Amino acid sequence: MQPIAKFIAGLPKAELHVHLEGTLEAELKFELAARNAVDLPYADVEAMRASYVYHDLPSFLAIFYEGSFVLHQEADFRDLVYAYLKKVASQNVLYAEMFFDPQQHTDRGVPFATMIEGLTRGRLEAERDFGIRSQFILCFVRERSAQSAMAVFESALPYKHLIVGLGLDSDEKDNPPAKFAEIFRRGREEGFRLTMHCDVDQQNTHEHIRQAIEDIGVERIDHGANLLDRPELIAAAKERGLFFTVCPYANEMMRPGENQSIARGMLDLGLRLTLNSDDPAYMEGKYINENMLMAHELAGFGPEDFVTVSRNAFDAAWIDEDLRAELHGRLTAYAEAQLMVAR
Ligand code: HPA
Ligand code: ZN
């Protein structure tokens, strides 16, 4: 393994931008399809993976949603979370905040309770078996109506102790943050932390970023690359101490060759950048370590930069201060030992 890959592999990390449905690997999809008697139109895992061809956000989302149709029972959601956390625990992820899209499942008749109970069991069993800590972020699917999102929000309230935050994902075209302002206002009142996707190069992206920051009052932006085009948005993000959850592979799909300007650009401006995987099962199996390696190869990130990224992620995490201190302690110990050797 090259020294930088080894450094990344050993680095204590947090992942803050990963869609659980986007971690559903083809092997598990076949297993769940058999369990639930769902017919899959693919002969085997190779054929299924070969079908993951997309060129923009809508064409990606069509594949991503079809994949989630195999998730039905509590055990399926448990297995999904457990497999993801097992994988990233092996990559030295100490803490993860994972998105899930309830509307993908409640629309197919899966009760909210089935989903959240399965997810929670998977999370707790992974903590028991691998020591990895984690929480959930409920994401609204933005092309659905505000009423549909409000209905999901209401069904989540009895489980709010199991969900740390609210997010917004899926197709951004004609679906601005403002559409969900009332739900996010109520969410804040109920104690949820707030984030939103502002995907790369979307329609009205600058206005979407402005709304997310100024009108909604998010603490983070997922992706958010186009903020770099506008000095006033950069200033607003700095003033509020916003965090950015950037995903190198997803960037490469949306705007090839621009990780240098996006990830490196944010870091150089002093914005609080984190690096993440987004939908690894649909992105050639690139989990967080592989995404960090892309930041090295495409944007020249070195060991010090990765330590900064991990420090930012631990600061961005929606956790109590004891756990934060523990995570920072492990990072500092690693950085001191490794960077001393490198010098
Ligand atoms: N953007 C929007 N919607 C999504 C994404 C994303 O990166 N991943 C899964 N759903
Ligand atoms: Zn995403």
Q: Tens digits of per-residue pLDDT, 170-180?
A: 999 999 999 99
pLDDT number for residue 341: 63
Which amino acid, one-letter code, is at 185?
R
Which positions ≥6 away from 154 have C-beta within 8 Å? none
Q: Which of 303, 226, 298, 317 is nearest to 266 (CA)?
A: 226
Coil, helix or strand at residue 19: strand
19 Cβ closer than 6 Å to some ligand 1 atom: yes
Residue 15's pLDDT is: 99
- Is the minimum distance from the CB of 22 to ligand 1 under 6 angstroms? yes
Q: What is the 3-state secondary structure (H, E, C) of 276-337?
A: CCECHHHCCCCCHHHHHHHHHHHHCCCHHHHHHHHHHHHHHCCCCHHHHHHHHHHHHHHHHH
Q: How far is CA 147 from the centre of its chain?
A: 24
336 Cα–ligand 2 center, Å: 32
From ligand 2's centre to the CA of 334, what distance in Å? 29
146 alpha carbon – ligand 2 mean position (Å): 20
Ordered structural domains, the chain, with CATH: 3-342 (3.20.20.140)
* Ligand 1 in reach of 169 Cβ (< 6 A): yes
* Ligand 1 pocket, residue 197 CB under 6 Å: yes
State the virtual CA torsion across 99, 104, 107, 109 in degrees, nearest 10.
-80
Segment (H or E) for 275: strand 272-275
Counting atoms of ligand 1 from 1, which one is nearest the CA of 222?
Answer: 7
For the chain, report the end-to-end CA distance as a whole number of angstroms. 20
Residue 250 beta carbon below 6 angstroms from any ligand 1 atom: yes
Residues 302-329: tens digit of each pLDDT:
999 999 999 999 999 999 999 999 999 9
Which residues does the chain have with pLDDT short of 50? Answer: none
Report whether residue 278 contacts ligand 1, using a CB cutoff of 6 Å. yes
Nearest to 252, CA basis, from 220, 219, 290: 290
